[in-house]
Structure 1
Amino acid sequence: MSKNDSATTSNSKRKPVVLMSMGVHERKGHLYQVMTHKYITPVVDFAGCVPLLAPTCCGPDDIEQYLDMVDGVYLTGAGSNIEPSLYGQENMTPEKGQDIDRDMFDMPLIRAAIKRGLPIFAICRGMQEINVALGGDIYQKLYAEPGFNDHRENPNDPVDVQYAQSHNVRLKEGSWLAKLLATEEIGVNSLHGQGIKTLAKGLEPLAFAEDGLVEAFHAPSLSNFLFAVQWHPEWQAAQNPDSVKMFEAFGEACRQRQSKQVSSAA
């Protein structure tokens, strides 16, 4: 076996690596970089990938080096909001936590990942980050906007109740997502106070809430796999066949990217 054949065989056994950007959390006067288990485990269990957690507190200078090491990017939700000045607005929720380090890391990360053709899967805050990074904006107080429902959870409810099915979303007829899930409507949880206002150029809606809010999008003109949802498919994903299919699709996109890179290097 030649050296190239040996390297190809070794690479074929390697699981795809997925970059996950972490976020800030303050505890007893100390700042931590964190990522909750519920986001990590579906990437391992259903996408079949290895997570690589990147601290955002050190700035964006090493983004290209991070991307050299991965086959996909996974943008999770978080308790913080995106800095409104990044989409041309004043802050209407100063009482809500923010994470400017994550903003400053994820915005260039998204653009660089798209430029490289890396698969991207985004959830909740991550979905909003993609929209802002590409020039769109969001409703800061969706619950106060005429015609929209209150999509927030009750903070006093137990976690299982907060993440329980809250409303249905209608999948765009004939879309990639409708074909993936083999249906035109699914029930989802809802834990967000903000939402998509104006979709950025290149993004196409895949699902809508009952009040018309964009709940999922992709970007076929920009990427072979860029998929974002506003709800939380990571929550108890093993008990939700729709969630499993989404993570499996992301994992397959990462494997295809990995295989392409291996072929190019051979």
Structure 2
Amino acid sequence: MSNNNTGNTQHPKRKPVVLMSMGAQERKGHDYQVMTKKYMSPLVEFAGCVPLLAPTCFGTADLEQYLSMVDGVYVTGAGSNIDPTLYGQENLTPDKAQDQDRDQFDLPLIRAALARGLPLFGICRGMQELNVALGGDMHQKLYEVDGLNDHREDDTTPPAEQYADIHAVRLVPNTWLAELMGQEEIPVNSLHGQGIKTLGKGLQALAHAEDGVIEAIHLPDQQQFTLGVQWHPEWQAAQNPHSVKLFQAFGAACRKQAELHNGELKPV
């Protein structure tokens, strides 16, 4: 019997695996766990990683098992606000949706991921979760704080208008993010009604909006990649070189993490 396998077949290397926590959504009387494609696309296309989606509705009993399977953690935006009781405030936005299952999953997830040395990337709600997980708090109504701008989108307009670049963020000089971007300011979109008030333990700002609102944060004392951004770099990332750089940097950190834990990435 002939055998076409010559032994020279090239197998693709194992890609880093990145944990993404899902959120709750109700549809026609059924409870769903969801993740928007726009968040996954640049993780696959530019970070070169494989997403592992974790439901948040079953608690944290399996959290360590999830983390043992991955090389990074990516916490995304969502339409819900973090429960303000988790940072010591009463709820000032009762009309806004909450997702307490996600809160109860993501905050310990972030702390455990940091303890394991896993790269961590947070977008919008994900950046806010990073701050709250480390003891920080939030402006629940950024648009009512004296001296600050209204950073919300006009939700009556098409998505392309909502996600259009609307203001600049100034990068903190002499930081790795400023070096990565290669310039002092970058244009960003803005779709958030809440923002960081007090930074959590160990966090430092990497960028500010024109009114001083914190737009990017990191943990300078952590060896692994840590980044939270308040804007949405995932939106049409292929058309935005700044977004591509962010996802490529996160992907590189996840590959390094995989190599540290597994040696050379083995073919599968």
* TM-score above 0.5: yes
Report the equivalent of 1:31: 31
Aligned residue for 2:110, secondary structure, equals helix
Please identify which structure carries the higher helix content: 1
Matches within 5 A, 1:1-266: 13-263=13-263
* 1:122-156 C-alpha deviation (Å, 9 max, x unpaired): 00000000000000000000001111100000010
Using the alignment, how far apart are the partners of 2:223 and 2:126 within structure 1? 16
Using the alignment, how far apart are the partners of 1:66 and 1:264 within structure 2? 22
Using the alignment, how far apart are the partners of 1:85 and 1:79 within structure 2? 18
Aligned-residue Cα RMSD (Å) equals: 1.5
* 1:54-94 C-alpha deviation (Å, 9 max, x unpaired): 00011111110000000000000000000000000000000
Using the alignment, how far apart are the partners of 2:25 and 2:169 within structure 1? 32
TM-score (structure 2 length as normaliser): 0.94
Percent pairwise identity = 67
Task: Output the amino acid matched with 1:96.
Answer: K
Using the alignment, how far apart are the partners of 1:210 and 1:265 within structure 2? 43
Q: How many residues align?
A: 257
Using the alignment, how far apart are the partners of 2:264 and 2:244 within structure 1? 30
Aligned residue for 2:59, secondary structure, equals coil
Using the alignment, how far apart are the partners of 1:146 and 1:206 within structure 2? 23
Ranges in structure 1 where 5+ consecutive residues have no aligned partner: 1-8
TM-score (structure 1 length as normaliser): 0.94
Using the alignment, how far apart are the partners of 1:221 and 1:264 within structure 2? 27
**Shift, 1:246, TM fit:** 0.2
Residues 211 and 265 of structure 1: CA distance in aligned 2, closer, same or farther (over 3 Å): closer
Using the alignment, how far apart are the partners of 2:244 and 2:265 within structure 1? 31
Using the alignment, how far apart are the partners of 1:222 and 1:28 within structure 2? 44
Ranges in structure 2 where 5+ consecutive residues have no aligned partner: 1-9
Task: Output the amino acid matched with 2:161.
Answer: V
Between structure 1 and structure 2, the one with the greater Rg is: 2
**Shift, 1:31, TM fit:** 1.1
Higher alpha-carbon deviation: 233-242 or 213-222 = 213-222
